[in-house]
Amino acid sequence: MQETRQNRIARLLQKELAEIFQSQTRMMHGVMVSVTRAKVSPDLSICTAYLSIFPSNRAEELMENINENVKSIRYELGTRIRNQVRIIPELRFFIDDSLDYIEHIDELLKK
């Protein structure tokens, strides 16, 4: 039962965070940030979100910017989901480099 609720809240957070990043990066031409996965702790107090950033050479710069603005992102998330959850979870962001890894494997296979 608890796992079902965790998954439902994780999907909700992933969708809302993706919309927040989409609206914020619309002003930055040539940059795309997508939320590939979101995991929520069993007590629903911590959300770990994995971000895929294109182009990947600007990933570190954007992650620094995102980590500096975690409070404003959490506030905006709270205004969007305040009627659906009791506690707005603490946000933790990590780079999802699985696409870069797949690209690297493809390059090795072509050799």
Give one DSSP letter per residue of 35-97, joined into a string.
EEEEEE-TTS-EEEEEEEEESGGGHHHHHHHHHHTHHHHHHHHHHHHTTT-SSPPEEEEEE--
Q: What does the alpha-carbon distance between residue 41 and residue 81 come to, in Å, rounded to a whole number? A: 17
| Alpha-carbon torsion, ordered 60, 53, 22, 14, to 10 deg | -100
Instruction: Return the pLDDT at 1.
Output: 47
- Specify the pTM: 0.84
List pLDDT tens digits, range 29-84. 788 889 999 999 999 999 999 999 888 888 888 899 999 999 999 999 999 999 99
Element (H, E) at 33: strand 32-40
